[in-house]
Homo-oligomer: A and B are copies of this chain.
């Protein structure tokens, strides 16, 4: 009978989360009963959207929820066999029992690591792909700016834009990540917003203006993009992480959208479920050919989950932030 360690939130953060607002709790999970499976989590996904749980959507002193990949280690369900790999949103713990609700069996294309299901081939990559192509209406040859371009969604979005034949500018917050944008993601321009004024840097990097701004940040990055948007430009808004920890995110120049007839659209992957098949086909090809890198930052052990979450909001991750278990 396995004992599972789980992450509980014990106090609500106001600014950046702190380690003492989380705790690790041991829970006796029990063996799978009839119709049930026992899942051992292998990788947990650490996502900006978890901020909303911290702010109030998750109850205190219960298991935090998050995306994860696990393996079926006991099965009394006809729907799953021991060894099956499943993705789900029941993470932030090592083991759990399930009647199968919310578990999706995944098969990993040959030659790719398991973690692609939480990264470029999972929700993260699908959000980037559909956000650019459906919400952003991306066309070959366009001028594209992606903020947080070395982050999880941003690192996929910026590479997809390049692979679709666009000129791509990416912003990030460290020299190492800026080097990754140039050398690994092979973007046309990389901006370290901590070393420059973002408004001037975007303007200098976008002499032909911007057709699409893929927004992960909001605030000053959105203002920088608004100043450069071309006529009929599109701004798919995936997130506004600059405000998630309480910073000022005022946008003072929104009226720029009127004269240039620009669209902003908040979205998530519910907006383009019909793209899942072409996404999986195209993304699998890019990953196998090496044209697109599913970048990840991996911390080891459930006890590192709070540090991973804090690090995410501090921008410490390159690519997807993951916690490996077991």
Binding site for B on A (CB under 8 A): 52, 218, 222, 237-240, 243, 248-252, 254-268, 270-271
**Residue in contact with A254 in the complex, picked from B52, B248, B254, B267, CB distance below 8 Å:** B254
Which residues of chain B have C-beta atoms less than 8 A from A262's C-beta? 265-266
CB atoms of B271 and A267 under 8 A apart:
no
CB atoms of A265 and B261 under 8 A apart:
yes
**Residue in contact with A271 in the complex, picked from B256, B257, B261, CB distance below 8 Å:** B261
Q: A251-B251, A255-B240 are in contact. Are A263 and B265 (CB under 8 A)?
A: yes
Would you list 12 pairs from A and B whose C-beta atoms are within 8 A, ordered by A residue? A218-B255, A237-B257, A237-B258, A250-B250, A251-B252, A251-B254, A254-B254, A258-B268, A261-B267, A261-B270, A261-B271, A262-B265
Who on chain B is nearest to A231 by CB?
A: B270
Give chain B nearest CB distance to A263 CB in angstroms.
Answer: 4
Which residues of chain B have C-beta atoms less than 8 A from A265's C-beta? 257, 261-264
Which residues of chain B have C-beta atoms less than 8 A from A261's C-beta? 265-268, 270-271
Beyond known contacts A261-B266, A264-B264: 19 more, CB 8 A cutoff:
A218-B254, A237-B257, A239-B258, A240-B254, A240-B258, A243-B255, A248-B252, A251-B252, A251-B254, A254-B254, A257-B264, A258-B266, A258-B268, A259-B266, A261-B265, A261-B267, A261-B270, A261-B271, A263-B266
Who on chain B is nearest to A255 by CB?
A: B240
**Residue in contact with A266 in the complex, picked from B249, B257, B270, CB distance below 8 Å:** B257
Which residues of chain B have C-beta atoms less than 8 A from A270's C-beta? 261
6 smallest CB-CB distances across A and B, nearest first, come from A257-B266, A240-B255, A258-B266, A250-B250, A263-B265, A264-B264
